Chains A and B, each alone.
Chain A
């Protein structure tokens, strides 16, 4: 019974230590990841309309619409991490031993396991040979450690023992990246803010629809967009200012924020993401001509605002555009949909155009001829807002990963032994990487030692 249980635990341990599981998980992750690139992620109305009801139900129960956060995908990632940790626990001590307790003595049985061995042609007394070979090794390869055993002198020199740990640095870095991602998802947020020119915000809309308080204010002083001659956009620029506790924050006033150049305050970063025409705030310009007195008056109105006209009438601008052509083919220039209320009368809606179309505008308004001169449109800027305290953990992990890969791939732990006995000097060598390259180096070294 106990052996059975032990057997099971051992089997489980072996299962999680196995490299076959690693390959299975890596290929499995690669395969299932494809699903989420084919099925659009998130709420995609147009896509949902193209597939059947049963498919929608099937996909959503399998989590395909948010695949990379589905329980089974996360489970695969956790299994990968577990596999990684178990493998490292099993193998690291062995590798650590190679690094921390090098084999200092090359006896004859160990010699047979080495693929590079040579007899040196040196002659002389043991202690004299020891000094000569040691000095040559130190200058040509690395300073050797000397061990005396049973009247035989052993030298051992090595280079880059640490690179054996490269693989573990890579694996550890993957765990660091995971931790960084978890920190970000628990303690950070992603949001979006829309600020009209001249306006400010102190909270943003989080991805999940939750409102997040920033704890300070961001004001958009101005937004501009410029274009190349081809009509392609050249630059989107918001001028932002930060206010904390109502006071302007020094150094963060009138800061230009463009795509690829964000602004950060208190760990919250604002990225230029989109823009649009603000429908609050637009100022409409009208000229009202009293046809009886021939007196013209310029009037400004905001959207929906009821402004008093000379003679007791009222007018509000409902909607306006800088160019009416898309709506009224024969006309161009600015146009506005207005609601005109004559003194004591009922409101009448109609359209007015620029003073180029006086006769068109004269159809309404009684004694008043109202021309639309245009408007000052305001933009709003759309800012992506992000706070991610885990991001430095992720970058640390990435840096470790690159360092670890370089250690694992491009560095080699090279070891050289020399055994000095009454019979002469035998050298042996081994390398953790690139055996062919090491063989040449070894032969080269032997040649130099022969001249010692």
Chain B
């Protein structure tokens, strides 16, 4: 069994998980929701094993390094962190419907990595040969993942808000009954961002520390750095918006979705559309 096979298994399990969560929303059967959570947990454990195996495979090839160095590895790690943060929130608050809005992000990541990205294990170029790589990547991606969860929750908020204001369409209303209450969604959104914001801050700080250690400049307004700051500004605005009257609820949810869009651009868009230091290999 190679890590690649296990990643395929992971992808399939996340697909099944998404289907189970859909069935949960449609059937409103609590047992189905619990099954969804367990499926996500199994997928997470298999993915953890697969990442560990890939790490070992890099050692077998003679240039061992943590599997965090190219686009494939980062997308896989991103989807792993999304499930991790999701499971934490699920175990703590037990709102199963959230799974249907969060697990697809991880599924999408795995599908893209497995079907569209080069999965070769490459040796590290000199710039990446540093422990700071690990601290930086892990903190950033855990932060991004929390924002992904917040985004899923915000989408739920916006749907519920729209349906409730629109007088309640009965078919959607049925599914909505499994959604947490609107105030709970608002609170969960805030809680997810409370996890993500400190991690993103740490990610930016470790990135700056690494840049300073490797190049002697902690901040050079490189597009990736600037975009991470943009994301940070958006979530800082979110945090302050919550304590300002008139900005809770819908506007906060929209800000959270915008924040995640900026996060994704920071992660992928910068590499695909802009130039700078942080290209993944090519």
Contacts and interface: CB of A to CB of B under 8 A. Distances in A.
Interface of A: 19-20, 22-23, 26-27, 29-30, 33-34, 36-38, 40-41, 68, 181, 190, 228, 230, 232-236, 258-260, 262, 269, 271-273, 384-386, 388, 391, 394-395, 398, 401-402, 405-406, 409-410
Nearest to B129: A260
Given A385-B216, A391-B218, A402 B198 contact: yes
Contacts of A273: 215
A19 B127 contact: no
Interface residues of B, number: 44
A409 B198 contact: yes
A16 to B, nearest CB: 15
B240 A19 contact: yes
Interface string B190-220: 0000100110011001001100111111110
Contact of B201 (A29, A38, A386, A405): A405
B45 interface: no
Given A230-B123, A386-B216, A26 B240 contact: yes
Contact of A402 (B130, B205, B208, B221): B205
B229 interface: yes
Contacts of A406: 198
Residue from A30, A36, A41, A228 with most neighbouring chain B CB atoms (10 Å) = A30
Nearest to A40: B275
Interface string B29-54: 00000000000000000000000000
B214 to A, nearest CB: 5
Contact of A30 (B122, B209, B237): B237
A230 B214 CA distance: 24
B243 A190 contact: no
Given A26-B237, A405-B197, 15 more contacts: A20-B244, A33-B233, A37-B226, A234-B123, A234-B126, A258-B129, A259-B129, A260-B130, A260-B132, A262-B216, A391-B212, A391-B218, A402-B201, A405-B201, A410-B194
Given A27-B233, A190-B217, A259-B214, A233 B125 contact: yes
User: By DSSP majority rule, is chain B's interface helix, strand, loop, or mixed?
Assistant: helix
30 contacts: A19-B240, A23-B247, A26-B234, A26-B236, A30-B230, A30-B234, A33-B233, A36-B221, A37-B227, A37-B270, A40-B275, A41-B221, A68-B226, A181-B219, A190-B216, A230-B123, A232-B122, A233-B126, A234-B123, A234-B126, A259-B214, A262-B216, A271-B216, A273-B215, A386-B215, A386-B217, A391-B212, A402-B198, A405-B201, A406-B198
A269 B216 contact: yes
B264 to A, nearest CB: 14
B64 interface: no
Given A23-B241, A406-B198, A230 B126 contact: no
A384 B223 contact: no
Contacts of A30: 230, 233-234, 237, 262
B126 A260 contact: yes
A194 to B, nearest CB: 16
A38 B125 contact: no
Contacts of B198: 402, 405-406, 409
A391 B209 CA distance: 10
A40 B274 CA distance: 9
A49 to B, nearest CB: 16
B147 to A, nearest CB: 14
Nearest to B212: A391
